[in-house]
Amino acid sequence: MRRHIAVPVIFFACCASSAAESPRVQFGALGSLRVGMSEGQIAEAAHSPLVHIAPGGEEEGCFYGSVSGLPKGASLMFIDGRLARIDIFEPGIRTWSGAEVGMSEHALKQLYGARVRQEPHAYTGPDGHYLTLLSGDKTLGIRFETDGAKVTGYYSGTAEAIQYIEGCQ
């Protein structure tokens, strides 16, 4: 059973930033894009149509999309027509705390301390890890993937959606 999170919707330019700085990722958000927004709200916030970039996996109602202005290496996961997760797989898109793809696993653990939970990665474990950080109410989170040495990607979204290890699955 899926639960949807009600998130206040605030409209700004999707991913407005200076040329040197991408928007920052936080629990369930990238710039003005927020988990829980509909496809139409995402398109309106981005001033750009939503483009489906990858079909869903085994579960119906799940797909990946993109909008103009989304930083390179970012994609949006939708479940039942609502933004559920933001995936980041390129360096240069930082969290509010400064974490990003390419930083060392050690530095990430120092940055988040005891708040981060470590688990073996499904494919690269025991060396590789999932390092998961949840919001205070545990409804949202950020999950980092590592190869044991460096962060190889991360995603921010609902606590359920960040657990999917193969995109929509």
**Stretch 145-164: mean pLDDT, rounded?**
96
83 touches 42 (CB < 8 A): yes
Is 135 a residue whose pLDDT tops 80? yes
pLDDT at 79: 93
Percent of the chain with pLDDT over 70: 84
* Predicted local confidence at residue 97, as pLDDT: 95
**What pLDDT does residue 145 have?**
97
Neighbours of 158 (CB within 10 A): 25
Q: How far apart are CA 143 and CA 164, in angstroms?
A: 10
Asked whether 128 and 120 are in contact (CB, 8 A), the reply is yes
Across 129-151, average pLDDT: 97
- What is the reported pLDDT for 22? 76
Q: Tell me the pLDDT tens digit for each residue of 49-97.
A: 999 886 555 457 889 999 998 999 999 999 999 999 999 999 999 999 9
CB 152 within 8 A of CB 101: yes
Least confident of 1-15, 43-57, 87-101, 109-123: 1-15
Distance CA 25, CA 155 (A): 9
Question: 160: pLDDT confidence band, cut at 50, 70 and 90?
Answer: very high
What is the C-alpha to C-alpha distance for residues 117 and 133, in angstroms, rounded to an integer?
7
| Domains within the chain, CATH numbers bracketed | 25-163 (2.60.460.10)
**The pLDDT of residue 168:** 82
pLDDT at 15 over 60: no
Highest-pLDDT range among 17-26, 43-52, 82-91: 82-91
Give the Cα separation of 34 and 38 in Å (integer). 9
Q: With cut-offs at 50, 70 and 90, classify the pLDDT of residue 127.
A: very high
- Of 9 and 101, the structure prediction assigns the larger pLDDT to 101
Q: Are 119 and 98 in contact (CB under 8 A)?
A: no
Q: Is the pLDDT confidence value at 23 over 90?
A: no
15 neighbors 71 (Cβ within 8 angstroms)? yes
Beta bridge partners of 156: 86, 142
